[in-house]
Amino acid sequence: MPAQLIDGKALSLRLRADIARRAAVLAKRGTTPGLAVILVGDNPASQVYVRNKVKACEDAGIRSVLERYDADLTEAALLARVAALNADPTVHGILVQLPLPAQIDSHKVIGAISPAKDVDGFHVASAGALMVGANGFKPCTPYGCMQMLASIGMQDLRGKHAVVIGRSNIVGKPMALMLLAANATVTVCHSGTADLGALTRQADIVVAAVGKAGVLTADMVKPGAVVIDVGMNRDAAGRLCGDVDFDGVRQVAGWITPVPGGVGPMTITMLLMNTLQSAEQRT
C-alpha cells in the first residue's frame, strides 16, 4: 500500500484559520499583529518567497509592511532600519530575507534584530533558547515539520530514530534539536555522509533537507517510515520537486510529504504563528 500523504496545504489552512481568529481577537482589543519584511536586491527566489509571505499575512489579518531596497544598500543603512523597526510598537515581527548582498554581514544584521521580534528564529538568542530548552521563537521550517509530525499523532518520539539529512543553520541543525526535545534518537547526516542509506534504513523518521533532487530513494527507506521532504528543487523538466524520489519512496514509506503542498506552506504558516504569538505576548 502506498504511503499516506501528510498534506501541508490542508494542515496550513486549519492552522491559518485559527491564527486569523486569534488575530481578529487582538485587533478588536486595539492591536493588529504586524510583520515587517525587508528584501534587499532582486534575487528571483527571494522575491517569490517574500510575495507569498506578505499575501499570507494579508489573508490572516496580520498587517505586513514590505520594505524593498536596492542591491547596493549599505550595511549601516540596513542596521539603521532594523533599529527603527525594533523601536516601532506596531511591529511585532521583523524578517530580513536571506541571502543578503555580499557587502552586508548577515550575522550582524540578524543579530541586530530584537530577539522579542525575531519571528524567523534566526537570532543567536533564539538558537540558544532552542538549544537549552528556554522560551524563544523557533525557526519556521523545522517548526512546521514538527507540526506535521504532530498532525499524524507523532508528538512524543520516545523510542523513535530520526535521521536528518542536511546541517543548515535554518533547517538541519534546529530540526535535530526539536526532534531531540520530542525525545527522539537523532542522527544528523549530510551530503558527504558515507553510506547514507545504511543510516536512513534504520530511521523511523527521515527529514531530507539538502537542496538536491534524488537524495533519498526507495532502497534507502525502512518500510512504514515517515518521510519529510524539505527540498525545493526543479527537475529536468523544470517542475518543482523535493529532495526525495517521491514516486519511488511512496511505495515503501508509511507517510510522506509532497512537494509542492508539503513543508512549503507550513513554513509560512509558522511565520504567521510566531508573529501572532509575538503580538499576543505584548498585548
Site for ligand GUN, rule CB under 6 A = 95-98, 120, 140, 170
- Please report how close the Cβ of residue 91 comes to ligand GUN at its closest, in angstroms: 15
Question: Could you tell me the maximum CA-CA distance found in the chain, to the nearest angstrom?
Answer: 57
Nearer to ligand GUN, 97 or 126 (CB): 97
222 catalytically annotated: no
Nearer to ligand GUN, 97 or 200 (CB): 97
55 catalytically annotated: no
Choose the catalytic residue: 118, 120, 204, 243.
Answer: 120
Choose the catalytic residue: 18, 28, 47, 53.
Answer: 53
53 catalytically annotated: yes
Nearer to ligand GUN, 216 or 268 (CB): 268
- Please report how close the Cβ of residue 250 comes to ligand GUN at its closest, in angstroms: 26
Nearer to ligand GUN, 50 or 249 (CB): 50
- Please report how close the Cβ of residue 233 comes to ligand GUN at its closest, in angstroms: 14
Residue nearest to ligand GUN (CB): 98
- Please report how close the Cβ of residue 195 comes to ligand GUN at its closest, in angstroms: 30
The set of catalytic residues is: 53, 97, 120
